[in-house]
Structure 1
Amino acid sequence: MASVKLPYTILNAFTTTRESGNPAAVVPLPAPAAPPTELSTDDLLGLFPSDDCLLSVAKHFGLPMTAFPVPLPSSKSEPGLTTSIGPTPSYALRWFHPDGEAPLCGHATLALSSYLFESLGGVKHLRYLTRYHGEVSALLVSDPFDSGREVVALDFPELRGFQTVPKGSERYAEIMSSIKRASEGWKEDEVVNVEESETYVLVELASGADLKAIKIDPARLDAISPKQFLLTQLADPARSPAHIHSRVFGTAPGHSYEDTATGSAHCALIPYYLTAAFSRLCAAHPTAAFSTTSTASTGGTYVPSGDDPLDPLASTLKVSQLSARGGTMSVQWRKPEGRDEVQNGRGPRMGSQAEEDNK
C-alpha cells in the first residue's frame, strides 16, 4: 500500500499552558466514500484503516494518546441534535496509545474537540460514535465558576459500581501490601477508605497526606493489575483552589504508567465523592455550593431535585491532578442522566503538520 501523508495536530489537554497538561495527537481521517446507512460496531470499524495502521501511527507520535476521527455525513445526526448553524457535526472516533487501543480517553477527546471547535467555527456541539461506549458528546459552555469564560465540556457516561473494601479484610491487606511494595513515601495510616469496581481500585487518603510526593511504580501493583489505580484526597481549601486532588495509574501488564491528566477516571471519582464520601466532602468545603444546598442534609449523599433543579455548581467539583506535569478540570455529575460533564478550557497547540511543512 502506498504511504499516505495524514494531517495532524498535537494539543495539550487539561491545561492552558505548554508546560503542563496531557498531550495528544489528533489525526483526522477522510470521510468514507460510501458511508453505511446504519452504524453497527462492525460498520464503525470498517470506516477506519486497519488496527495495525492506527497503532503504527500512535507509535510514531509516541504520545500518551492519539485520536482518530472519521467525519460522518450530517444526515447521520439524530433528530433534535442541532446547532444554530445546522445539524451537529458527527464523527466516528477511536483512540490508540503506543501499546494498543483505548476503550475511552478523556484527554484526547478534549484535545480533539478543541481542535474541531476552532477549525469548524460557530459550532457549539459535537457528537462522537465510539466502539465501546456508544455516543459521547462535546459542547462549548460557560465555565460554571467563571461565566465570562468558555470551556469545552465532554459528555461521558458515569463510571460507578464501586464496593467498599473493608479494613481488616483479606482483599484490603492484599491491596495495601501491593501499594507498599510499589511505592516510596506511602503511609497506610493515612488511608481513609478503599473501594473497588470491575475496572478501578480507589484509595482515598487523608487531606493532610502529601499525595504529590508519593512515588509509585505502577508495574509493581500486582494485586491491582490490570485495573486502573485511583489515588485521591479531599483538597485543603486553605492550600488549594480545587475540591479534590487525584493521581491515576494504569497497571495493565506491558502498559503501566501514570496518567498525566485524565477525564475518564474522574467519571468514577466525582460520583464517589458525591455519594460515599459526600459527608467528608461537605465537611472539608463547608461554603461550597454542594454543601450549602438543602440536599446536603439528606443523609450524607448528593440528591438532585427534579422539580427545582439545583445550581450546576452543587454537583460540580474542581479537580487538580497531581502528576509531574499536572492538570486541572471541573467535572459535573448529572446523576439523573447517569452522565458526567468533564470541563476545561481549550488547550494550547504543541505542533501540527502545517507547522512542520513550513519549516
Structure 2
Amino acid sequence: MQLPFFHVDAFTQKTLQGNPAAVIPLTAWLDDALLQKIAAENNVSETAFFVPTDKGFHLRWFTPTTEVPLCGHATLAASSVIFNELGFDKNLIHFETQSGELIVLKKGDDIIMDFPTKAPKPCPIPAGLSEALGVPILETHENHFVLCVVKNEQDVLNATPDHNALAKIAPGEFILTARSRDYDFVSRCFAPGHGITEDPVTGAAHCVSAPYWADKLGKATLRARQVSMRGGDVTCTLKGNRVELMGQCSLFLKGTIFL
C-alpha cells in the first residue's frame, strides 16, 4: 500500500517555523490501530487524515499517542493541502469531525477556519500549578484546556514547566497566557498527557483563549502570538459562539508512505 504524504508548517509564512503537521489524504478509512501507528511513526504533534464525503471531507487528527477531538493547526495544514496540492477548485471546504462541522475558507494566501468557541469558566488554581510551570499563576479558567493567566508576557516566556508534575495535576492540556505589547495576547501550550511537551502553535487552544481575552479587552478581533521556540501567528475573530482562526501555511515536504 502507498499513501500520499505532506509535511506542512502551519500558522506561518516560512518553513521551519509555526507548527508542523503531517497530512495524509485517504480514499477510505484504514483501521484505527494503523492510523495511530502512522501518527506515531510521523512523530509530529498531529497527523491529519481525511477521506472524501458527498459534502466535503471527513477529517480526523492523531497525536503520536491518541486521537483528539479537535486540532486547529492540522486542520489548517489539511486545508492547505486540499486547496493547493489536490486540484480542489473551490474556496470553501466542509469538514465533518468529532467536533461537528468545520468550515474553512481560502482568501488569498490566508486560510480562515470557523471553529466553535470553548469559553473557559473560572476555577480554583490547582495546588502545585505555579511550581509546575515555574511562574506565579494569577488565575485559572477551564474548558478542555486549563487556561493559566500570568502577570505579563515575560512570565510566559520565562516559564520552565515540569511536564511530569503537570501531567499529575490534570490529564489534559495547559495554556499559559498574558497580555502583550505587540499583540493582543501571547500564549504557550503544554500537553504532557497527550504525549506533547510543548506544542508550537495550537489552533484549538485559541478557541479557549480568544473568548477569554475578547471579554477582558472588549474587542472581537484579536492578534495572537504563540511564543514557542518556533512561534506562530493567529488572528482570532469572535462571532457569537464561533471563532474564526486565520493563518497561513508553508509546505515543507511531500512524498509517499509505503506500508
Both proteins in one fold, TM over 0.5: yes
- Map of 1:103 onto structure 2: 69
Q: Does 1:213 align with 2:158?
A: yes
Unaligned residue ranges in structure 1 (runs of 5+): 33-47, 78-89, 142-148, 166-171, 283-289, 291-314
CA distance in 1: counterparts of 2:89 and 2:25, whole angstroms: 19
Quote how far apart the aligned CAs of 1:156 are. 0.9
SS of 2:15's equivalent? Answer: coil
Between the aligned partners of 2:168 and 2:40, the Cα distance in structure 1 is 29
C-alpha distance 111-164 of structure 1, shift in aligned 2 (>3 A):
same
Taking the aligned partners of 1:343 and 1:14, their CA distance within structure 2 comes to 8
Q: Which protein is bigger by CA-based radius of gyration? A: 1
1:6 aligned counterpart, secondary structure: strand
1:204 aligns with one of 146, 149, 160: 149
SS of the aligned residue for 2:49 comes to strand
Identity %: 31
Aligned to 1:123: 90
Residues 208/251 of structure 1: CA separation in 2 closer, same or farther (3 Å cut)? closer
Q: Does 1:317 align with 2:257?
A: no
* SS at 1:269 equivalent: helix
Measure how far apart 1:109 and its partner are: 0.5
Output the TM-score relative to the length of structure 2. 0.92
Kindly state the Cα deviation for residue 223 of structure 1 after the two structures are TM-superposed: 5.4
Match of 1:260? 200
1:348 corresponds in structure 2 to 250
Size of the aligned set, in residue pairs, is 257
Matches within 5 A, 1:93-242: 93-119=59-85, 120-130=87-97, 132-141=98-107, 150-165=109-124, 172=125, 174=127, 177-180=128-131, 182-184=132-134, 186=135, 188=136, 191-197=137-143, 199-207=144-152, 209-222=154-167, 224-236=169-181, 240=182, 242=183
Q: Structure 1 residue 98: deviation in Å?
A: 1.2
What amino acid is aligned across from residue 188 of structure 2 in structure 1?
R
1:248 and 2:215 aligned? no
CA distance in 2, matches of 1:105, 1:200: 13
- Deviation string 1:2-25 (CA, Å, 9 cap, x unpaired) is xx1101111000111112111111
Please state which structure has a larger fraction of its residues in strand.
2
How far off its partner does 1:121 sit? Answer: 4.7
Partner Cα distance (1:230, 1:64) in 2: 16
Q: Which amino acid aligns with 1:351?
A: L
1:334 to 224, 239, 255: 239
CA contact (8 A) 2:114 2:244 kept: yes
Q: Secondary structure at the match of 2:2?
A: coil
Q: Deviations over 1:193-230 (max 9, x none)?
A: 32233x22111112253321221122211553213111
CA contact (8 A) 2:126 2:169 kept: no
- Separation of aligned partners in 1, 2:209 and 2:110: 21
Aligned amino acid, residue 236 of structure 2: V
**Deviation above 3 Å: which 4+ runs of structure 1?**
none
Structure 2, gaps ≥5 residues long: none
CA-to-aligned-CA distance 1:58-87 (integer Å, 9 cap, x gap):
1221111111110113xxx3xxxxxxxxxx
Distance 1:256 1:111, change over 3 A: closer
Q: Distance in 2 between matches of 1:247 and 1:139?
A: 26
Q: CA deviation at 1:128?
A: 0.7
Q: Is the 8 A contact 2:153 2:186 kept in 1?
A: no
Structure 1 residues 223 and 64: alpha-carbon distance in aligned structure 2, compared to 1, 3 A threshold: closer
Report the equivalent of 2:212. 272
Superposed CA RMSD in Å reads: 2.1
Contact 1:7 1:28 in 2 (8 A): yes
Report the Cα distance in structure 1 between the residues aligned to 2:200 and 2:106, rounded to whole angstroms: 24
Does the CA-based 8 Å contact 2:186-2:227 persist in structure 1?
yes
Give the superposition deviation at 1:256: 4.5
Residue 34 (structure 2) aligns with: 53
Tell which has more relative contact order, 1 or 2 (C-alpha 8 A, sep 6+).
Answer: 2
Q: How far is the alpha carbon of 1:163 from its aligned partner?
A: 2.3
Q: SS of the counterpart of 1:138? A: strand
Q: 1:222 to 1:98 in 2, by over 3 A?
A: closer
Letter of the 2:106 partner, please give it: L
